[in-house]
Amino acid sequence: MVIRECFRCFYHIYNSRLGQWLHNCMTHNRHYRRLRSHQGLEHSHLDDFILDFEDVRVRIVPLARTNYSYLIQDKATNEVAVIDPGDADYLSHVAGSEMGQDIAKMLITHKHWDHAAGMTQLFKRYPEARSFAYHCEKVEEVTDRVGDGDTIQLGSVTIRVLHTPGHTEGSVCFFVQQSKGPPLLFTGDTLFLGGMGAFFEGTAPTILLTIEKLLNLPEETLVFPGHEYSDTTLRFGLLMEPANEELRAKAHWVAMRRSKYFCTVPSTLSEERSYNPFLRIKTHSIMAATSTTYPIRTLIALQNNRIARRNEYKNLPLVREEDSV
């Protein structure tokens, strides 16, 4: 009970203006230290600076220690939006230097400062910009409130809002169905490569609905999450499902990538269905691992295991000795 009350207090402070100030101080301090030591600001290397799709260009922007923001540009009009503006200065620099445009729209997946703290400064820099967040999410400086199924126009590209509560009450994902090629899904902290965000404000029934909504999207959908957590999430997956060959292959790939500080996003929904335990709550192996027989109980058991057994899986090797030969 004491631990729970302490967490609630911390969570309240984090979501306050004091939390925003502390977040910005840590961000600025990290920038100063990395620049002083002649390091780049991004935490992970990218294979391609701009991902060129049929209708849009996407710039993955690694920020802070593990965050990802995304710049998305409509190819027909060159209009640029940022998804989860956690750092105003660097995002505006990348938008101008690599895409040649100001930021016209800000899309917020959820209220936490590591995803939204840059809004104030971006509005000072781009006073004509518009910002979008779910209608009940407690985010200030939002010009446009959106609901489930609403659309946001970025030039000629339509971005659909998917309400996916669980991490926060007003968490959303942004879905782009292109004229050709795979759809794109920007998930914030709802869905990670190999896992899901902590269930801070969700109940098991609402999170189950969120999972069903994600599973109903096309399997070829590219998933762009809000954090580089793949090494941790896959370790938990290996604890739950050590015989899953797709999971072992992905873990080996992630281990090789992270050993050289390369990013591991995006993945695909097809891949996630094969190794992400939270998307596999109806499979026999995950039910057996959690000693449950109903998906909602499996989900609850997964969450409990993720918390209670952290010390058990956090140092679990991603690659077995026999797999590394």
Q: Does 309 have pLDDT greater than 90?
A: yes
Mark whether 87 is an active-site residue. no
pLDDT band, residue 1 (cuts 50/70/90)? low
The catalytic residue among 84, 114, 163, 231 is 114
pLDDT at 30 over 90: no
* Domains of the chain listed by start with CATH number: 41-324 (3.60.15.10)
Q: How confident is the model at residue 250 (pLDDT cuts 50, 70, 90)?
A: very high
User: Out of 23, 55, 167, 231, which one is annotated catalytic?
Assistant: 167
Q: Any catalytic annotation for residue 115?
A: yes
- 252 versus 18: which is more confidently predicted? 252
Chain segment 266-285, per-residue pLDDT in tens: 999 999 999 999 999 999 99
- To the query of whether residue 135 is one of the catalytic residues in this protein, the response is no
Mean pLDDT of 198-225: 96
Q: What is the mean pLDDT of the chain?
A: 93
Q: Is the pLDDT of residue 117 over 80?
A: yes
The DSSP annotation for 17-50 comes to HHHHHHHHHHHHHHHHHHHHTT--S-SSB-S-SS
User: Chain centroid to CA 7: how far?
Assistant: 22
Looking at residue 227, what DSSP letter applies? B
Comparing C-alpha atoms, which of 139, 196, 195, 140 is closest to residue 164?
196
pLDDT (0 to 100) of residue 6: 61
For the chain, what percent of residues have pLDDT higher than 70? Answer: 95
Say whether pLDDT at 25 is over 90: no
Q: Which of 23, 110, 163, 231 is catalytic?
A: 110
Q: What is the pLDDT of residues 160-185, one digit of tens each?
A: 999 999 999 999 999 999 999 999 99
pLDDT at residue 112 greater than cutoff 80:
yes
Dihedral of alpha carbons 233, 238, 240, 245, sign: positive
pLDDT interval class at 322 (50, 70, 90)? low
Tally: H helices and E strands in the chain:
13, 15
Q: What is the dihedral of CA 121, 123, 125, 130, to 10 degrees?
A: 140
Q: What's the average model confidence in pLDDT over 83-104?
A: 95
Task: Work out the average pLDDT over 117-131.
Answer: 96
pLDDT at 292: 97
CB 102 within 8 A of CB 80: yes
CA distance 9 to 17: 14
How many other β-carbons are positioned within 10 Å of the β-carbon of residue 134?
26
Known catalytic residue at 114 = yes
Residue 167 annotated among the catalytic residues of the structure: yes
For residue 157, give the nearest of 276, 66, 57, 257 by alpha carbon.
Answer: 57
Catalytic residue among 23, 43, 74, 112: 112
Which of the residues 23, 43, 163, 227 is marked catalytic?
A: 227
By the 10 Å C-beta count (0-12 exposed, 13-18 middle, 19+ buried), 113 is classed as buried
